[in-house]
Amino acid sequence: MNRRFSIGAVFLISLATAAIVATVIVWTGGVREGFGVSMSVAPDVSDSDLKPAAWFQPQPKSFADLAQRVSPAVVSIRTAKKVAGGRRMMPFPRFGPQDPFDDFFEKFFDGRPPGELARSLGSGFIIDENGTVLTNNHVVSGADEIEIELSDGRKFKANVLGVDERSDIAVIKMDAGSKLPVVRLGDSKAIRPGDWVMAIGNPFGLEHTVTVGVVSAKGRMIGGNAPYAKFIQTDASINPGNSGGPLFNLDGEVIGINTMIHAGGQGIGFAIPIDMAKAMIPELVEKGSISRGWLGVSIQDITPELAKSFNMEKTEGALVTEVYSDSPAAKSGLKRGDIIIAFNGEKIDEPLDLSLQVGQVKPGTDAKVTILREGEKKDLTIKVGELEQGKQAFKQPNIGGGKADNLGLVVRSISPDDAEKLDVPASFKGVVVVRVEPDTAVAMADVRTDDVILELNNIKIQTIADYEKAVVALKPGDFVRLYIKRGRGSVYLAFKL
């Protein structure tokens, strides 16, 4: 029995030894001549093969050095305002899935007695050693008192130098009596989704809170009452009180101003690109407000259907739906139906790109505009005007009866009553939409009651006869492009019949 056990043990030990040798051979990269095990890397493997790929950047071991270096230039901002009861804006805009834009700013301080001070918190960062601070407009808007606290505990009163409500950017100033630490402003165009970022701010009064994450996306557009910008989205945790604080890259440069969060989500925050603020700071400091450029056009997106109707391969650019009389655009020769694809050499992918580019140009400046007109590329020079507050369009539904035509519409000539309601001259020509058949291509294209059809596939529509003749000529599968007056504006719509 003992002999058998010994033989079995020897056999098992031999197997284990062979397995270990085989593992060593594989792990060390092969064998030399004969059966000698090589403990060195195979000769055809170079040192460069062992290095991480060029695109791979390991996670930093710590953000502590970066936070320590930039924190002194980050400040807490406390504001106070006398209120007459009711509600008070909280200095951190947010939007959520239920009512994202109509109630854009979360509100608090409900039911305060008349004359009581409403206090709120925010963040900011010092951009020059004399005490100039950049923050959000909604942090300091309407404040009767502004107090800035530095990272070392010192507190100073501050005054507003300039604000821009449209972009939600403000510049304020404190007098510390000595030189202060400052941040460096970076290049927000250079960042990419996946880049590491760090936010520092004052969430819920927890001063100099450091959070880290990555750039989740760039160029986010948010409608409603959101600030006028294409946002940087980040998952670096930001909360109420972070508003106006900096979003840093790993070089310690500010690439964004933390501005708002998604109320219904986690890790979804938004920052205004610092490039936008850099262009505005000198004018805000000097004048206290921003003068924006103006072309005098209405524009819209290029849908896939519109792109096909204009023989375009891509849905890019801003389609001009209306050129206002005696405007800079009209004087330059820009026409309705032109598609603006570049402004001062900057590519225009969508209408907001054009609005942002034009808004940053000083009034009176000559701008080069590249357009597509009937498939041909042309360059125009436009002397940019100054933007003025426009009037809101109105909408009044008018549900009518009758049998729908081949497009799925019921239309009629413009009556004197229609002209008055639509705010057009009595001599205005076109056909007004009375009813839109549901679940049709024209309904999916967003044609609405009270729209006035002025053109159908470049055919001018002035009477019912013009409209009927154009519709009869259409065949199933044709693309239809309508030019429509809607309220005080105009719009192109396209769909496949």
Q: What residues in the chain have per-residue pLDDT under 70?
A: 1-59, 83-118, 223-226, 263-265, 389-403, 426
pLDDT of residue 100: 38
Residue 42 maps to a domain: no
Q: What long-range pairs does 396-405 form, CB within 8 A, spacing at least 24?
A: 396/421, 396/450, 397/448, 397/449, 397/450, 398/432, 398/434, 398/449, 398/450, 399/434, 399/435, 399/449, 400/434, 400/435, 400/449, 401/434, 401/435, 402/434, 402/435, 404/435, 404/437, 404/440, 405/468, 405/471
Residue showing tokens 């001062």: 344
Of 324, 327, 345, 300, nearest to 386 (Cα)? 327
| Domain identity same for 136 and 250 | yes
Q: Is 415 among the residues known to form the active site?
A: no
pLDDT one-digit tens code per residue, 305-364: 888 888 898 889 999 988 888 889 999 999 989 999 999 999 999 888 998 899 889 899
Where residue 479 falls (left for φ over 0; alpha for ψ -120 to 50; beta otherwise) is beta
Q: Residue 68: inside a domain, yes or no?
A: no
Do 364 and 463 fall into the same domain? no
∠ Cα 141 142 145 (to 5°): 100
Closest by alpha carbon to 295, among 369, 224, 241? 369
* Marked catalytic residue, from 123, 188, 216, 243: 243
Of 328, 321, 336, the closest CA to residue 293 belongs to 328
Token duo for residue 418: 């229609």
Q: Say what the pLDDT of residue 98 is.
A: 42
Bridge-based pairing state of the strands 88-95 and 253-262: parallel
Shared domain for 280 and 319, answered yes or no, is: no
Looking at the fold, whether 177 and 214 belong to one and the same domain comes out as yes
Residues 209 and 316 in one domain: no
CA distances from 436 to 33, 119, 125, 235, 454 (A): 86, 51, 53, 43, 17
Rounded alpha-carbon distances, angstroms, from residue 220 to 106, 185, 213, 351:
21, 21, 17, 14
Residues 83 and 156 in one domain: yes
Q: Let me know whether 373 and 485 are in one domain.
A: no
Cα dihedral 324, 167, 234, 202 in deg (nearest 10):
-170
User: What is the extent of the structural domain holding 317?
Assistant: 293-386
Burial status of residue 377 (CB atoms within 10 A of its CB: 0-12, 13-18, 19 or more): exposed
User: Are residues 75 and 243 in contact, defined by beta-carbon separation less than 8 angstroms?
Assistant: no
pLDDT reported for residue 51: 54
Q: Are residues 123 and 235 in the same domain?
A: yes
Vertex 230, ends 381 and 392: CA angle to 5°? 70
pLDDT digits (tens, 9 = 90+) for 366-398: 999 999 998 899 999 999 999 875 433 222 333
Judge contact between 96 and 263, C-beta under 8 A.
yes
Q: Is residue 339 part of a domain?
A: yes
491 within some domain: yes
pLDDT tens profile 144-155: 899 999 999 999
Question: What pLDDT shows up at residue 295?
Answer: 92
Query: Could you say which of 138, 418, 450, 466 is catalytic?
Result: 138
pLDDT tens digits for range 267-301? 889 999 999 999 899 999 999 999 889 998 888 88
Position 318 scores a pLDDT of 92
341 and 429 part of one domain: no
In a domain, 29, yes or no: no
pLDDT of residue 109: 36
Number of domains observed in the structure of the chain:
3
Q: Are residues 324 and 281 in the same domain?
A: no
Q: Give the bridge partners for 247, in sequence order.
A: 199, 256
* 243 catalytically annotated: yes
Query: Do 268 and 346 lie in a common domain?
Result: no
Question: Do 214 and 88 belong together in one domain?
Answer: yes
Instruction: Please pick, among 76, 123, 167, 168, the residue that the annotation labels catalytic.
Output: 168
Q: Which residues, 6 or more positions from 313, have their beta carbon under 8 angstroms from its beta carbon?
A: 307
| Residue 262 annotated in active site | no
Residue 95: both structure tokens together:
């939007």
Q: What is the pTM of this model?
A: 0.65
